[in-house]
Amino acid sequence: MPDYDALAARIRALTHGETDEVALMATLACEIHHADARFDWTGFYRVTAPELLKIGPYQGGHGCLTIPFARGVCGAAARTRQIQRVADVDAFPGHIACASSTRSELVIPVVGPGDRLLGVLDIDSDRPAAFTDEDAHRLQEILDECFARD
């Protein structure tokens, strides 16, 4: 389990005063990815058109380039604006296998000012049931602070 207090402090220091969403996403992807060995792929999918996510800054192997809101774990998080914590991706209806090594997934909606959905943070693990409620809660707090959610 990462030291979420230290991670949040590091991210706060690195992103202080930054408002560019892509720069923020790049910094968060790097810091979160290297915070825990469970995190096999860490990145953002950005809302670029109605009902469409496109890959943004990430760490790890190649990701899917586009994901419609109607498909996969990332699409479900974007569509419902609810955290998706999936212990076994093979049991998730409509899961998109961007990497065959992924066993579990945590996807958190990223909401900016004015309640605008910016995208989702997607973290994959090559371990089953790798993510906890604490992971989801603490990462959501970091995202809310970083992207100045109202």
Overall domain count for the chain:
1
Q: What is the pLDDT of residue 150?
A: 47
CATH number of the CATH domain containing 135: 3.30.450.40
Structural domain of residue 34, as residue ranges?
Answer: 4-146
- Residues in CB range of 86: below 8 A, 6 or more apart: 73, 92, 95, 104, 105, 106, 107
Q: What is the pLDDT of residue 102?
A: 84
**3-class state of residue 6 by DSSP:** helix
At 86-109, the pLDDT tens digits run 999 878 777 777 767 788 999 999
Report the alpha-carbon angle 40-43-47, nearest 5: 150
